[in-house]
Chain A
Amino acid sequence: MLEELGTNDQGDMIINIGPQHPSTHGVLHLVITLNGETIKKVEPHLGYIHRSIEKMCESLSYRQFIYVTSRMDYLSSHINNHGCALCVEKGLQIEIPARAQVIRVLMDELTRLASHLLWWGALAMDLGAFTPFFYSFREREMINELMEDTCGARLTMNYIVPGGVMMDLHPDFQRKVKEFLRLFKSKIHEYDDLVTGNIIFQNRTKGVGYISREDAISYGCTGPTGRGSGLSCDIRKLYPYEIYDQLQFDEVIETGGDSWARYKVRVGEMVQSMRIIEQLIDNIPEGEFQAKTKAVLKLPKGDFYTRVETARGELGVYIVSEGGSTPYRIKFRSPGFSNLSALDHMSRGGKIGDLMATMGTLDLVIPDIDR
């Protein structure tokens, strides 16, 4: 074992980044092999917060297990819930009321916006600029308050139930969303001035953490990571769910494959999310927010797989049902897990500082990887 020696025969230094490290955003543990400051190998060690959500779900009913999935990718908890609900609904073949669909999509996009805002601040912080973090949190706070108004919680909302959403929208929701959009648009130039246009930031990200399109497919990179490499992988466009096929929005694709491309994809996605919200906010149909469902849900025997686009990429929910009231086996194909597997490939040959930029633009959320 080379790790036990602290060095290998070529005199390379083996150093731990994490589990308690300021830039791993949680308890990711990377063992990196350095030659000078050049990275030769990155090996993730996982499992520090593995809670075996898949096993937990096996003993929870189809209504109950959805809330657990909020704790996977806590930054897009609503979208995780959405994926699970869609899978259950696919099994039960329930029609979702139009109002519930619109509400779900609106909340999805707000969640995505909040997640990307946090990512933006955290990335800048990883690269040494502290101030942008506070600016992005100011805007994110507004979204959290919107969520709190309607769902009663800020992060793990548990707003989605099979068949619709748990509660109707708050009466102030539309007004507050419009107010948020107006404020956000007036502040967005600061994002360009502080980070996007900053020459140091550009130099830190351009050409860093490169992954080609072929490798991105092979490594299963999805979401902004895949789209930064020119891979069209937006589930909302490719396999539209809910009302995404009726909406006008662009799939942001950059061909650079480096951290800068991934950065631009995410920033572009923020704009697209705003576009979706703007389209929907005045057109929320009246009607029921929840379809009538039985008290105890029982999925028919078989396999069900749904995919949704979380803020980090493609989330797959795979339910194997034996016909009972609890799932027989659940597998979550989490986007972070596949994206992390490409980290070694991306960061080889770079400096330690590059690793931070690569990790930052992969937007790793550790509970999503560990589940």
Chain B
Amino acid sequence: MTKDELKIKFESLQEGLSFEEGTEWLTINVDPEGFRNFALVLRNNNELHFDYLFCLTAVDWKTHLSVVYHFSSTVFRHEVVIKVKIEKANPIVDTVCDIWRTAEFHEREAYDLLGVEFVGHPDLRRLFLTPDHEGFPLRKDYEDPINMIKL
């Protein structure tokens, strides 16, 4: 499906979705509460069939965090980008690692570097950093006086 067709399809599936304009792929902003159900629809709807999660990351927008999911379908070859806006004080979003297995590592990475807590993840630990590390390096307010070198 093309971007416009996808948009129509999504609108028919769920009311009140907020789409982002001017992007290459269809970008949908989703609330963390409804995200898991929405993800299940993405994966299981036969016309959408987004079976391939090819990128999962989070962005620190200083005021809030947004978790960005890039989905693709290996059958229809269409893409969709889902952005979930979460609070910085309470960065909680439901896990999708039982739907897309690759999310298990990507969610651990996002937890490790940006501090996003994925509820229901079986093994949410630090991935790159040591377990006793404090702070989340990819957040904009992260300070590390020893290891960060300002040029």
A and B touch in the complex (CB under 8 A): yes
- Whether A302 contacts B55 by the Cβ 8 Å rule is no
CB-CB under 8 A for A316 and B104, given A55-B137, A305-B70: no
Our pick among B59, B70, B101, B113 for the contact of A341 (Cβ within 8 Å) is B101
- Please determine whether B101 and A305 come into contact, CB atoms closer than 8 angstroms: no
Residue from the list A46, A54, A238, A305 in contact with B55, Cβ < 8 A: A305
Stretch at the interface among A123-131, A193-201, A211-219, A355-363: A211-219
Given contacts A54-B138, A55-B138, contact A338 B57 (CB under 8 A): no
Please determine whether B27 and A303 come into contact, CB atoms closer than 8 angstroms. yes
CB A59 to nearest CB in B, in angstroms, measures 7
Nearest CB on A from B3, distance (A): 14
Distance to closest chain B CB from A89 (angstroms): 13
Give the number of chain B interface residues (Cβ < 8 Å). 34
Given A46-B128, A47-B128, A215 contacting B55 (CB threshold 8 A): no
**A305–B24 touching, CB < 8 Å:** yes
A331 and B55 contacting across the interface, CB-CB below 8 Å: yes
Residues of B within 8 A of A370 (CB): 128
Instruction: Check if B55 sits within 8 Å of A333, measured CB to CB.
Output: yes
In the complex, the answer to whether A220 meets B53 with C-beta atoms within 8 Å is: yes
Give the residues from 29 to 71 in chain B that come closer than 8 angstroms, CB to CB, to chain A: 51-55, 57, 59-60, 68, 70
Give min CB distance, A100 to chain B, whole Å: 23
Residues of B within 8 A of A342 (CB): 101
Q: Is A298 an interface residue (CB 8 A)?
A: no
A231 partner residues in chain B, CB cutoff 8 A: 74
Chain B residues proximal to chain A, CB less than 8 Å: 22-25, 27, 51-55, 57, 59-60, 68, 70, 74, 77, 81, 100-102, 104-106, 109, 113, 126-130, 137-138, 151
Chain A residues whose C-beta falls within 8 Å of the C-beta of B68 in the assembled complex: 303, 318, 331
* Chain A residue nearest in CB terms to B20: A303
Q: Roughly how many angstroms separate A328 CA and B58 CA in the complex, as a whole number?
A: 12
CB neighbours of A222 from chain B (8 A)? 54
Interface pair A305/B51, CB less than 8 Å apart: no
Nearest first, the 9 A-B pairs at minimum CB distance are A220-B102, A47-B128, A341-B105, A331-B57, A50-B128, A333-B55, A218-B101, A329-B59, A219-B101
Q: Let me know if A337 and B57 touch, CB within 8 A.
A: no
- Distance of B107 from chain A, by nearest CB (Å): 11
Interface string of A214-236 (1 = CB under 8 A from B): 01011110100000000111000
Question: Are A329 and B60 CB-contacts (below 8 A) given A52-B137, A220-B102?
Answer: yes
Query: Once bound together, how far apart are the Cα atoms of A316 and B81, in whole Å?
Result: 14
Q: Which residues of A contact B (CB under 8 A)?
A: 46-47, 50, 52, 54-55, 59, 90, 215, 217-220, 222, 231-233, 238, 302-305, 307, 314, 316, 318, 320, 328-329, 331, 333, 337-338, 340-342, 345, 370
- Determine whether the beta carbon of B100 is less than 8 Å from that of A218: yes
CA distance A340 to B127 in the complex (A): 13
Whole-angstrom CA separation of A217 from B57 in the bound complex: 18
Which of A219, A302, A307, A333 sits near B23, CB closer than 8 Å?
A: A302
Q: B24 is contacted by which of A219, A304, A331 (Cβ under 8 Å)?
A: A304
Cα of A207 to Cα of B41 in the assembled complex, Å: 35
Chain A residue at minimum C-beta to C-beta distance from B55? A333
The one of A47, A55, A217 that contacts B51, using a Cβ cutoff of 8 Å:
A217
Please give, as numbers and ranges, the residues of chain A lying within 8 Å of B51 by CB-CB distance.
Answer: 217-218
Pair A238/B23 contact, Cβ less than 8 Å? no
Contact (Cβ within 8 A) A314 B54: yes
Quick check: A316 and B70 within 8 Å, CB to CB?
yes
Q: Give the nearest-CB partner of B128 in chain A.
A: A47
Contact of B128 with A340 in the complex, beta carbons under 8 Å: no
A338 to B68 CA separation, bound complex (whole angstroms):
17
Residue in contact with B74 in the complex, picked from A46, A54, A217, CB distance below 8 Å: A217
Is A220 touching B100 in the complex (CB atoms < 8 A)?
yes
Q: How far is the CA of A219 from the CA of B25 in the complex (A)?
A: 22
B1 nearest CB across to chain A (Å): 16
Q: How far is the CA of A318 from the CA of B55 in the complex (A)?
A: 9
- A329 proximity list for chain B (CB < 8 A): 59-60, 138
Q: Are A316 and B23 touching (Cβ within 8 A)? A: no
Q: How far is the CB of A43 from chain B (nearest CB, A)?
A: 9
- Closest Cβ of chain B to A251, distance in Å, is 14
| Chain A positions within 8 Å of B77 at CB level | 238
Q: Are B129 and A47 in contact (CB under 8 A)?
A: yes
Q: Are B138 and A333 in contact (CB under 8 A)?
A: no
